[in-house]
Amino acid sequence: MVEQSKLPPHDVEAEEALLGSLLIDPDAILKVVSFLKAEDFFDELNASVYGACANLYRRSEAINQITVAHELMRLGLLEHSGGASNLNRLIGSVPTSLHAEFYGRIVERMSLMRKLIVAGRRIAAIGYEAGSDTDESLSQAEEALFKVRSRDSTRDFVSIRDVLDGYFNDAGRVVDEASEGLASLKTSFPGLDGLLGGLQRSDLIILAARPSIGKTTLALDIARRAAVEQKACVALFSLEMSAESVVQRMLSAESDVDFWQVRIGKFFEREERKIMDAAGVLSDASIYIDDTPQVGTMSVRSKAKRLDFERRLDLVIVDYLQLIEGEGRRETRVQELSQITRSLKLLARELNVPVIAVSQLSRAVEWRASHVPQLADLRESGTIEQDADIVLFIYREDKYVSEEEWNRLHDIMGEPYPRGIADVIVAKHRNGPLGQVKMQFVDRVVRFDQLGQGATSSSMI
């Protein structure tokens, strides 16, 4: 009796009631197959029977006593699972399949508790190891818990048929945003969305420019618009600016009140109403800001995963890449930055969200006759270009050519000076076309607006 009390949490009766439901109602598996796996069963015999049912379901074959017995025989598990007599007993254990999902949830919960016990032992072992790097130890402990909460933390080979089934099931489907997150996240700049097809999940997007060109502003615009217009949940790691500065910029952009007035807190009654309205809009937005000035990749990953479990993230933004600290010792800064970009790409895949990393460009841009950025200008590039799915550059001619010089060179053609006109260049697009979009930088409210001509694109790479 003492030994029985030490057994891990389980409910064999619920397992058998679920299996009985599957054997008397072939459609009952539809209620549980999305969240329940054979390894969730405590009893090995029951796990074998459920595995056979799941195999039949994947092959679109009928599930009943005869087909399950044949599948178990094919796998050489019929005798191991108690034979045909055990299947008869399971059928008799439940009068109806009405509560199949309820039984399945019990099995899932017991499985989760057993995994929690294993994670607890792992965390205790980490503590006993007493490593010198406390951040590393805490990260390992958090990872042990994350794996319990994330049932898909480990992945295996899948057939192309399963992937295609998932694609066609999702295509054109109306997504329940409250439970599943946004299927496709937009930048809310139509021309840029036309080139990119929106921000795709699991993509690492590098947004790069020279200082004072507007890369942080564009990143904040995308975050604000996604959260306000699409109700997206955004995690923003601001390594350069404080959370207060970030909010002031967003408040100015949303209210259309001069940034300087917002910053010093002096404005007229009309501006005050606009600011209060904008503050109400932003207060309802799911934007979470971490302004830790010195943060490592492990901390970024840990914090983002924690927020994803709590709030279901749709977008992660890091401003900016060169300020992140790498983990462990690297011989060169290039090697360290390579490790950082790989970590961010891994984060995008783990959370299945787009990750935008703002990046500096090298001074080589200044030294060329043409100041238009190139991929080789990515500062301390390493594997930035290799790891990125998309590379965006911002180029503003008014930062390199004065109005007087412009008028002298374009006097005959009469072209207006491109004050605040920015070219957002798609320099790399792993799964789509290259091109560029004209935007207007509105200096007084620190915001980008798209110009009317839309995007120009080139062939796919």
Q: Where are the beta strands (DSSP E) in 204-295?
A: 204-209, 233-238, 286-290
User: Which amino acid does the sequence have at 400?
Assistant: Y
Q: Where in the chain is the domain with CATH 3.40.50.300?
A: 178-460
C-alpha pair distances (Å), 284 with each of 230, 281, 297, 312? 12, 6, 29, 16
DSSP 444: G
pLDDT at residue 146 tops 90: no
Q: Where in the chain is the domain with CATH 1.10.860.10?
A: 1-156
Residue 377: CB atoms within 10 A of its CB come to 22
The three-point CA angle 66-34-181 to 5° equals 165
**pLDDT for the residue numbered 358:** 92
In this structure, the strands spanning 433-442 and 390-395 are unpaired
Using 50, 70 and 90 to split pLDDT, how confident is the model at 183? low
Tokens of 311: 């709030």
CA dihedral 55, 57, 59, 60 (to 10 degrees): 160
User: Which amino acid does the sequence have at 58?
Assistant: R
**pLDDT for the residue numbered 398:** 83
Q: Which CATH superfamily is domain 178-460 in?
A: P-loop containing nucleotide triphosphate hydrolases (3.40.50.300)
The answer to whether 318 and 290 are in contact (CB under 8 A) is no
Mean pLDDT value across residues 181-200: 82
**pLDDT for the residue numbered 222:** 92
Give residue-wise pLDDT tens across range 122-138: 889 888 887 777 767 77
Smallest CA-to-CA distance from 358 within 322, 320, 387 is with 320
Smallest CA-to-CA distance from 424 within 207, 263, 267, 277 is with 207
The three-point CA angle 157-152-145 to 5° equals 135
Q: What is the CA radius of gyration of the chain?
A: 28
Residue 346: CB atoms within 10 A of its CB come to 15
Give residue-wise pLDDT tens across range 22-55: 988 888 888 888 788 888 999 888 999 999 998 8
Give residue-wise pLDDT tens across range 305-343: 888 888 888 999 998 788 887 666 666 777 778 888 888
pLDDT at residue 149 tops 80: no
Give residue-wise pLDDT tens across range 285-312: 888 888 887 777 777 887 888 888 888 8
Name the percent of the chain lying above pLDDT 70.
Answer: 85
Pairwise CA distance, residues 216 & 351, whole Å: 23
Give residue-wise pLDDT tens across range 52-88: 998 888 777 888 989 988 988 888 888 887 788 888 8
Tell me the fold of 1-156.
DNAb Helicase; Chain A (1.10.860)
